[in-house]
Amino acid sequence: MSNIKSDVRPLFTYTIGGVKIEMPVRPYPSQVSMMDKVIRGCQKQQNCLLESPTGSGKTLALLCSALAWQRAEKERLEKLSEEEFQQKLVEWQQKEQLKKQQKEKKQKKPNTPEKKPAETHISPAKNKGLCLSTDVTISDDSEEEMAIFKQPVKKRKINNSKNLDVSDGNSKSNDDSIMTNDSSANNSLMTEDEDENIEPKTENNLPKKSKPIIPVIYFCTRTHKQIEQVIKELQRTSFNNTRSCVLASREHTCIQDSNIYYPQISYKSKTELCRDLLDPRARRRNSIKLRRTIDRCSYYDNGGVKISTYGQLAKFGVQSVWDIEDIVRLGISKHSCPYYGTRLLLKTAEIVFCPYNYIIDPVIRSSMNLKLRGHVIIVDEAHNIEDQCREAASLQLDQTNMNLAKADLEKIYKSSGNSVTYGRLARYLSDMSKWIDQKSDEIKIYDEYNRGVVSWSGLYTIASFDEFGVGLTAFEVFKKDCETALADLAEESESDETKNSKKENVENELEVKDENDTIENNPSKDQNTDLAITNATKTLLSSICSVFSLFYDEKYKFDYHVSLAKVMHLKKFEHKERGITNKSIAGWINAGAAEANDTRPVWNNVVSFLCLNPAAVFDELKSSVRNIILTSGTLSPMQSFQSELGTQFPIALEAAHVIKQDQCWVTSVGVGPCGTDLNGQFQNINTFNYQDEMGKLLMDVCTVVPHGVLCFLPSYTLMEKLYSRWQLTGLLKSLSQIKVVMCEPRRGDQLEELMTKYYAAVRGDEGGPRGALFLAVYRGKISEGLDFSDNNARAVVAVGIPFPNFKEESVVHKKDYNNKHHKSKGLLPGWEWYQIQAYRALNQALGRCIRHKNDWGAILLVDSRYEQPKNQTGLSKWIRGRVEKNNSWTTIVAKLKNFVETRQLHDSTAAAL
């Protein structure tokens, strides 16, 4: 939990575009440039494309400038609102005065002294709240926050308890709960109806001050680990009292015991567990199955009670700027759900942090109920946003999963009162499955992996759908039925079960007893109690609706390519468990004579709707928000973003690095220690000469460079080949005597433990060699978001140019699409787009070398193609001008050794001062 005080004073103050920006440190020139662009973009509602190298303070500049603008915008809007209110008040006073004068004339009688009525003139200067009675502040929470909990059915009145101190406007209570029974002191709220009863009737027409809508800052980055780093930056600024919120899945925020049903029921994810604990039908079903009462999640019942407003966070010692660990720790201590508490905090947050797929993906955005209209979106690490947008608009339909969803819907169809909706949904999926079966007959050729593919343009597929009866007309009906079915499962409608929770628990106890008596004789009884579609079915329906809406859109129907793959895989059949004895299986074998575990080939069909235009998703996003700011250390070359995303970025920046020229040494490496050409093309990397040369090269680098060395390779396949070859030749053993050698794992859940070992090896904690060599892959976890500052990476060896797999279907069709539309849509030709994907991945990996202004390191571009100037144009600006060309490996090693010794001497001198 953060201990940073909210009264931190800024050390440096700058005014840019009329906005006062407070910085905790003196900003670099690149930071000033970035803050200027952010302020201009927000003020003019223009999109920004900002590149600033890693280690140049990009995150701090983004946070301080965006929040400073928000603060200034809030003051401006509140001032406008006040001026508008005062104008309305003056007009109201004039109308009231005129009414009184007219009334006086009518009531005036001859020979009767005039009795002057009391004036109702209200001075604008004195009237702020438009309330005739004395204002009383009841809670330290804002009216906007506490409005979440207003119950229109239950009217609350001011409690004159001794615990309520009216003189200073603060509610005092020893109870640590904020929301209690209606009779408690802390529940001192009034509904609008009661306000009207208190006010005199003459004041009913008083003008009301409109509450301005302040734009919220949505700060998005790739992972929660990166969000954690961003929050640490915000906590050290003067904006650390900003109301912040971190959006995360249940996997990160759920505090319920995953083994609550263990061993009877196991769940693949906490999302499934949560839904079952909140769904009354699922609880009833599990109560019958386990023969005991299953209560609703106790943490959810406290969600929105203990941790649902920022006043409550402050009361419990959590700062307004919090991280997931803070909210989870608080949830555990207060027995309250962090996931649903966060959803309530979101309603009044000023800055929201989340992974950027929450914003980009329409399905996730809808499920989170994010309303982005008029707000500011900042996407950090945005170099992957094109791929993310294409992925969000694409869809893979596995026929097996479709059939499972169809069976799920048919089950509801047979037992639900709303059978028409679920019946039509099941029929649509059934018709789609039949279409897949028909089209799979067109596959005639299979590769060595028993995989056959046939593909069509999006336009042809639409025509085929129409002919088969699953076209636009059928989809529109399907979409309406989906909305009906999904509305029943919407998380926001869970308030209905709150009303019946007590009644339901009693009913459960009675039903469990009654059902247990009959369940053994009627095994289908418990199956009929499951009247809700599964989460997997819900996800499938949502994805089809989202992607098919774009697929049938006249604007984007030319941007899709559809393929059908028929794949054979082996499936195990356990006959003994299935109770099969002498029956034959599809004419293959006699099961009675088979082994307990029998493996047979199974064919499966997968249809892919591949979106080739990222603008299909990005266009909807840009049209609703105030402006979008895309930032990264590796946006170069930047010209493709405007064309690919179909969006103009009037404000752009390509900032220089904050380090000096002598802090980073960069060289191209065309030949190795034995003079072997190190061209990284496919036909060369598979030779033993190349693999042996790479081993000797790394041996020399690890001998000269102390501490940590990173080596990036184009693929896991090459990494495994090199490792195996070095094991065979004995080079790996020699290398391990100099540094601990590690390889990036394919599975992300294995990385954290390996990183701990790597950092320990760099420090020398492990014993043996002091230092480590980490073999990693471009586009992997190591290349983004991890900390390799100072000794953790004193050299980065970049092997080859990481072009995407040119045989991959998505790459082939994307290149063809760009070639076809590069003139009409202003896209880059296919080959240029292909090169850009390679250099973005390369630049991202090279950014691991320098992490702050005092850092230093060497970069070796190992490929003879880098010696040609045309192959250096895609490098980031700060690297491009530093690349040296050296003709021999001996020269490179000598210069590398001199660079390392010079920097080490500089560090020892600086430490002695």
What b-and-e string marks burial along 364-375, b requiring 16 or more CB atoms within 10 Å of the CB?
bbebbebebeeb
Calpha distance 561→543 (Å, rounded):
17
Angle of the 270-278 helix axis to the 280-290 helix axis, nearest 10: 90
φ and ψ at 231, to 5 degrees? -65, -35
Asked if residue 506 lies in contact with residue 323, where contact means CB atoms within 8 angstroms, the answer is: no
- Helix residue ranges per DSSP H, 571-715: 575-578, 615-624, 639-645, 682-685, 688-704
Give the CA dihedral 832, 837, 840, 842, nearest 10 degrees: -110
Q: Please write down the HEC assignment for all residues of 126-184.
A: CCCCCCCCCCCCCCCCCHHHHHHHCCCCCCCCCCCCCCEECCCCEECCCCCCCCCCCCC
- Averaged over successive runs of 10 residues, the pLDDT of the chain (913 residues) comes to 48 91 91 95 95 86 96 93 89 87 77 49 43 34 42 40 38 36 33 38 68 93 88 92 93 88 81 85 84 87 76 88 92 91 91 93 87 94 90 93 90 74 92 93 79 90 93 94 75 37 39 42 44 79 93 92 86 49 40 53 89 92 93 81 88 87 93 92 91 95 95 94 95 93 87 90 80 94 82 94 89 93 88 91 90 91 92 87 91 96 91 77
Calpha distance 409→425 (Å, rounded):
7
Calpha distance 70→629 (Å, rounded):
15
| Beta carbons within 10 angstroms of residue 119's beta carbon | 10
Asked if residue 702 lies in contact with residue 726, where contact means CB atoms within 8 angstroms, the answer is: no
| 10 Cα distance to chain centroid | 31
What b-and-e string marks burial along 302-334, b requiring 16 or more CB atoms within 10 Å of the CB?
bbbbbbbbbbbbeebebbbbbbbebbbbbbeeb
Asked if residue 51 lies in contact with residue 655, where contact means CB atoms within 8 angstroms, the answer is: yes
Burial of 853 (0-12, 13-18, 19+ CB in 10 A): middle
Calpha distance 283→276 (Å, rounded):
6
Please report the sign of the dihedral spanned by the C-alpha atoms of residue 16, residue 18, residue 24, residue 26.
Answer: positive
Give the residue carrying structure tokens 């991890």: 786
Give the residue carrying structure tokens 């109301």: 243
φ and ψ at 628, to 5 degrees? -120, 130
Calpha distance 251→355 (Å, rounded):
14
What b-and-e string marks burial along 501-525, b requiring 16 or more CB atoms within 10 Å of the CB?
eeebbeebeebbeebeeebeeeeee
Instruction: Map residue 776 onto helix, strand or coil.
Output: strand
What residues does 573 pair with on adjacent strands? 598
Instruction: Map residue 376 onto helix, strand or coil.
Output: strand
Tell me which residue of 421, 398, 433 sits closest to 533, measured CA to CA. Answer: 421
- Residues in the chain, how many? 913
Calpha distance 780→845 (Å, rounded):
9
Calpha distance 858→667 (Å, rounded):
8
Angle of the 419-440 helix axis to the 458-468 helix axis, nearest 10: 120
Calpha distance 580→311 (Å, rounded):
63
Asked if residue 298 lies in contact with residue 505, where contact means CB atoms within 8 angstroms, the answer is: no
CA separation, residue 376 to residues 32, 40, 367, 393 (Å):
20, 13, 20, 22
pLDDT at residue 16 in the model: 93
- Helix residue ranges per DSSP H, 310-384: 310-315, 324-334, 338-345, 357-360, 362-367
Tell me which residue of 559, 631, 749 sits closest to 384, measured CA to CA. Answer: 631
Give pTM, 2 decimals.
Answer: 0.80
Calpha distance 324→355 (Å, rounded):
13
| 821 Cα distance to chain centroid | 31
| Beta carbons within 10 angstroms of residue 716's beta carbon | 16
| 881 Cα distance to chain centroid | 35
pLDDT at residue 173 in the model: 40
Tell me which residue of 726, 694, 890, 868 sits closest to 797, measured CA to CA. Answer: 694
Tell me which residue of 394, 434, 695 sits closest to 559, measured CA to CA. Answer: 394
Half-sphere exposure in the Cβ direction for 391 (13 Å, CA): 10
Q: Which residues contact 829 (CB under 8 A, 6 or more apart)?
A: 818, 819, 822
Calpha distance 310→320 (Å, rounded):
6
Helix (H) or strand (E) holding 629: strand 627-632
Calpha distance 135→195 (Å, rounded):
12
pLDDT at residue 416 in the model: 65
